[in-house]
Structures are given as structure tokens and as C-alpha cells.
Amino acid sequence: MRVLIFHGYLLRGTGSNVYNASLARTLARLGHEVHLFCQDREAGSLGWVDAVGRWGPDLRLEGRPPGPGTITAYVPEIGGLLPVYVKDRYEGFEVKAFPELTDAELDRYLGANVAAVRDVAASVGGLDSAVASHLVMGPAILARAGLTYAVKIHGSALEYTVKPHPERFLPFALEGIRPATCVLASSSHTAESLWEAVDLPDLPAKTRRLTPGVDAHLFRPRPPEDGERAALQLAAELRGEPSAQWDRDPNTAAEVIEWFAGSDAPRVIFVGKLIVSKGVDLLLAAWPLVVRRHPGARLLIVGFGEYRHGLERLLGALEAGDIRTARWIASQGRALEGAPAPSRLRYLDAFLSDPPAGYVDAGRAAGDSVRFTGRLEHDEVAELVGSAAAMAVPSTFPEAFGMVAAEAAAAGVLPVSAGHSGLAEVSRGLAARLPPQVGDLTSFPLGDDSVPALGDRLDRWLSLTPADREPFREILAETAAGLWSWESVAQGVLAASAGRLEELSAAQ
């Protein structure tokens, strides 16, 4: 089958990027001809991309001709202005959040992509299947191009663009959702949030739940010594890269990874975008509680984003025992990632307003136990996760699915996630297979007691000996492999595009 995937962003890094790259690779592995729309100007450097299509002004292909089992990545010419849901820096682009776009800029963006999709559909002789990623603008683009398609909802477009700005962006969502054959949500929570935002009578009936997959070839359980060895090998490979890259200093990352893997003390990892919504502030605040019980423990923060500076300031304040400055950081919230006005980080401030006895000393004692790597690629993260005992996933904003949590579990690493939205569905799937005393550690409640609750769960897991943890690590890996596979995702997307809703799970 000829399958078109409209993504419109990079093919590495954050959740929806990894989702679409993994979907494309799986479809090609199953023998389909994949046409993937993105804005990754370095798509040709990816080993799994067979050809790249560019416009200048006519469509031209560089690489292997399309055919069964191939992936062609298309990069429409959008004039260098990239609309995003959460504002950040993207090398080579002028970046604006969707609400910042003028009507003329939005029209140009839509028009360029619609024309590009029509060009590709005509050049390949028609398409058998198509899926649009995100609530806006992919579905509206495929609708205007006249395709038959399904829609895959990712939380960012829904929660950051359509719901806060319905007067402007709901019409585009409706334009894309109405003609879709099926709407795919990663979790029941996301489906319900979608129905709340997009009031169409037939929408619940054509919404189906299809969780993302986990690449069990990349994320796999390893003996502890093999996990450490893989992390050190990654560090060695990073040292051979050019030094100047977008949000990435390979030599610094290598040094930090060697520091992380080179300790026999417990190791915990965070992987995600460094924005307020990911709740890294809660993890940093909980960390002194963990180190107090596990001296020498190390925490690695993997990712990039505009809030990194704010997190480093918070870490510095905690390590200095400066609760006053830490509370000021909590009072600023999103202002420290570029928002126009402060917004209090309620859960962090609630903890810091009355920290437990000895917390200031614990913060000082935890000094130099946290490091940041900067941006790592998805396959690099896979090599690194296995060197950790646990992963913290403390998001405070709704998540469509807990992909990083599922990937950690596939590697035999316990994910400790905030208990809400798609994260809670992943935690419930894992907890159902684990003994209650361990299953309880996969999730912590989001509220004013989040910091001690997160610290408690990390502490209890790390208090088990490696030998005691081993059978639970096997259960985590087996459960992830059984519940979440990319092959089932790919088949589900094809069924959704064809309107075979009976083959898919209901959204509730």
C-alpha cells in the first residue's frame, strides 16, 4: 500500500516526532510504501530514510525511488517560519507559537503544505491510506488536499493550541475532523479531552483508542553491567562528534554520561522536554529526600528546552540551602520559560512553604548529584536508559500517552509517573502485572504532596537490592512488550484510514 503520513515537524527528539518516525519505519518493514511529510531538513541523514523530496519550486527527489518497503521524507517549502504548539528554538527556523501567527502567515503555511500534498499524491499515482498527525493543522491540510484519511491526536495541539484558543483554532480542528474516517487517541483521557473541546455529534462514535508502541529492539532489558557498558560506549561515540550542534554539546554529554554510569550508587533518569509542564521541578525538589536515604545516588536529566535555565537555578538554590530563592523560582513558573507573566508552581511551592525537618541540610548534601546531558537522539536514549534503576515521569500537564514510561518499562527500568491522563493508563497496565507493593510504585498522586510522594516511591524501589528487583524488571519488560508493539499500531492506523472501526478498541 502507498501510505501518506503528515507530521510537519522533526523526525527525532520529542514524543510525536518519535511516534511518526517509528510508525513510518514499521510500515516500511511490513512492506508498505511510505510518504512522510516533515520539516526535518536533515532527514536524508537518517539511515532509515530512503529518499528526500524537496520543492524548489517543483518537487524533486534525492535518493531511492519510492516502492514497497521504502520511506520517502518530504520537506515542503514553508518559508522558514515554523508554527509550533510549545515555543522553543529549532535550528534554521523562525519559530512562532500558533497563536502568534498572523492570518497571512497561517494561510501561507496551510497553502504551501496543501500544494505539496497534492503534488505527491499526483506524482505517485494516488494513495491507498493516509493519516494526519495532531489536531491542527495536519487534518485540515489533508482535507483541503482531498484525501481520505484518519487523524492521530497528540496532546500538544489539543491542550496548548485548540483548547486555550477555540475562537481561532477550533474552526480548523472541525474542518479536519469532520471528514476523517477515524480519530485515534492514545488514551481514554485524551479522547474525553478531545470530545470536550470539539463538539461534533458523531465524534465519539468514530474515535478509537490506539496506544503508541515501544521499539523492543531498542528498549530491552540488560544485566546491570551491560547497561553501564552501553552507556559508556555511547559516551565514547559522542566524543567523536562535531562539538557545535543544536542544543547539544557532545563532549559535555559524554562527560556527564560517564559520570552517571561510573557509579555503583543508585541511578535515576528523567527523559523529556525541559518545559514547566514536564514537572522536572518536582523531581529536583524530591531528589534531596532520595539522596538522604541513598547517599551517592545520581540523577540524570536528559532533554532540551527553554526551562533548562530555570531548572538549573532551582537546583542551585536547593543545593545552597536557599529556600527563599527556590520559592521565588516557584512563584515565577512559566515566566522563566518565556511566558509574558509569572504563574505559580503550586505543587512545588506547597512543598517549599513547609519542607520537612532537615530538608535544607539534605539539599546541601545532595550537591553535585544531578547533571544535565542536553539533547540526545532516541536511539541514544535507548542505550542510556538501561543504566538506570528507575525513571521519573513527573508531568503536571495532561499527556496523551506515557511513551517514555512504556519505553523505560520495556528496558526493565521502573517508571515512576504522575497519576493522571495517559500516564496513569500506562501505570495501571504495568501495576496490574506486578505485586501490589511494587505496582504501587509506578504512580504517584499529583497534588500538594507530590514532592514527598515521588521521593517516597523512588526511595522504596531503590531500597530493594538489585537481586530483589530483578524479577520485577522481567515483569516490566514482558508487560511492555505484550501491551505496546509498533506492529499493532501500524495495522491499527491502516484500519483507521480505511474506516474499519470494528477492528479497533473503543475509546472508553
pLDDT digits (tens, 9 = 90+) for 68-82: 999 999 999 999 999
Helix (H) or strand (E) holding 4: strand 2-6
User: Is the distance from CB of 12 to CB of 377 less than 8 angstroms?
Assistant: yes
Within a domain: 219:
no
CATH number, domain at 109?
3.40.50.2000
In angstroms, what CA-CA distances link 44 with 47, 54, 404?
A: 8, 11, 26
Is residue 19 domain-shared with residue 62, that is, in the same domain? Answer: yes
> Which carries the bigger pLDDT value, residue 338 or residue 412?
412
What is the per-residue pLDDT for 427?
Answer: 97
Is residue 231 domain-shared with residue 175, that is, in the same domain? Answer: no
Q: Which residues are 207's β-sheet partners? A: 183
* Residue 341 per-residue DSSP state: S
Q: What's the mean pLDDT in 171-175?
A: 98
Is residue 138 domain-shared with residue 287, that is, in the same domain? Answer: no
Give Cβ neighbours of residue 303 (< 8 Å, ≥ 6 apart): 270, 271, 272, 273, 274, 278, 373, 374, 375, 376
Asked if the model's pLDDT at residue 475 lies above 90, the reply is: yes
Q: What's phi and psi for 330, nearest 5 deg?
A: -65, -35
Within a domain: 72:
yes
Question: Which of 218, 286, 298, 287 is CA-nearest to residue 262?
Answer: 298
Is residue 167 domain-shared with residue 256, that is, in the same domain? Answer: no
- Domain with 383, as residue range(s), is 224-483
What is the per-residue pLDDT for 15?
Answer: 81
What is the per-residue pLDDT for 246?
Answer: 67
Q: What's the mean pLDDT in 454-468?
A: 97
Q: Which amino acid is at 135?
A: L
Question: Which of 272, 301, 281 is CA-nearest to residue 346?
Answer: 281
Asked if the model's pLDDT at residue 259 lies above 80, the reply is: yes
Q: Which amino acid is at 395?
A: S
- Angle, CA of 422, 378 and 450, to the nearest 5°: 40
Is residue 427 domain-shared with residue 499, that is, in the same domain? Answer: no
Q: What's phi and psi for 384, nearest 5 deg?
A: -95, -35
Is residue 495 domain-shared with residue 475, that is, in the same domain? Answer: no
Q: Which residues are 51's β-sheet partners? A: 63, 72
Asked whether the bond before 137 is cis by omega within 30 degrees of 0, the reply is yes
Using 50, 70 and 90 to split pLDDT, how confident is the model at 164? Answer: very high
Using 50, 70 and 90 to split pLDDT, how confident is the model at 93? Answer: very high
Q: Which residues are 158's β-sheet partners? A: none
Asked if the model's pLDDT at residue 449 lies above 70, the reply is: yes
The Cα–Cα gap between 54 and 252 comes to: 34
Per-residue exposure over 212-242, b if at least 16 CB sit within 10 Å of its own CB, e if not: bbbbbebbbbbebeebbbbbbebbeebeeee
The Cα–Cα gap between 143 and 390 comes to: 43
Asked if the model's pLDDT at residue 504 lies above 80, the reply is: yes
pTM for the whole structure: 0.81
Give Cβ neighbours of residue 281 (< 8 Å, ≥ 6 apart): 311, 314, 329, 330, 345, 348
User: Is the distance from CB of 176 to CB of 147 less than 8 angstroms?
Assistant: no
- Angle, CA of 126, 128 and 132, to the nearest 5°: 100
pLDDT tens-digit readout, 8-32:
999 987 789 999 999 999 999 999 9
Asked if the model's pLDDT at residue 55 lies above 90, the reply is: yes
Within a domain: 422:
yes
Q: Which of 83-92, 160-169, 427-436, 440-449 comes out lowest in average pLDDT?
A: 83-92
User: With pLDDT > 70 as the criterion, what percentage of the chain qualifies?
Assistant: 99
Is residue 174 domain-shared with residue 300, that is, in the same domain? Answer: no
Within a domain: 218:
no
The Cα–Cα gap between 363 and 318 comes to: 5
Asked if the model's pLDDT at residue 247 lies above 80, the reply is: no
What is the per-residue pLDDT for 217?
Answer: 85
What is the per-residue pLDDT for 368?
Answer: 95
Is residue 303 domain-shared with residue 408, that is, in the same domain? Answer: yes
What is the per-residue pLDDT for 73?
Answer: 98
Is residue 412 domain-shared with residue 469, that is, in the same domain? Answer: yes
pLDDT tens-digit readout, 338-395:
888 999 999 999 999 999 999 999 999 999 999 999 999 999 999 999 999 999 999 9
Where are the alpha helices (H) located in 130-187, listed in sequence order?
Answer: 138-144, 155-156, 166-177
Within a domain: 114:
yes
Start-to-end CA distance of the chain, whole Å, equals 30
Is residue 184 domain-shared with residue 260, that is, in the same domain? Answer: no
Say what angle helices 224-238 and 378-385 make with each other, to 10 degrees.
Answer: 140
Per-chain mean pLDDT for the chain: 95
pLDDT tens-digit readout, 202-233:
999 999 999 999 988 899 999 988 999 999 99
Is residue 257 domain-shared with residue 134, that is, in the same domain? Answer: no
Domain count along the chain:
2
Q: What's phi and psi for 298, nearest 5 deg?
A: -125, 145
Residues in the chain: 508
Q: What's the mean pLDDT in 315-326?
A: 98
Using 50, 70 and 90 to split pLDDT, how confident is the model at 90? Answer: confident
pLDDT tens-digit readout, 126-154:
999 999 999 999 999 999 999 999 999 99
What is the per-residue pLDDT for 57?
Answer: 84
- Radius of gyration of the chain, Cα coordinates, nearest whole angstrom: 22
What is the per-residue pLDDT for 236?
Answer: 95
Is residue 199 domain-shared with residue 312, that is, in the same domain? Answer: no
Provide the CA 214 distance to its chain's centre, in angstroms. 12
Within a domain: 340:
yes
Asked if the model's pLDDT at residue 240 lies above 90, the reply is: no
User: Is the distance from CB of 257 to CB of 233 less than 8 angstroms?
Assistant: no
User: Is the distance from CB of 342 to CB of 335 less than 8 angstroms?
Assistant: yes
Sign of the alpha-carbon torsion through 141, 36, 163, 186: positive
Within a domain: 298:
yes
Within a domain: 423:
yes
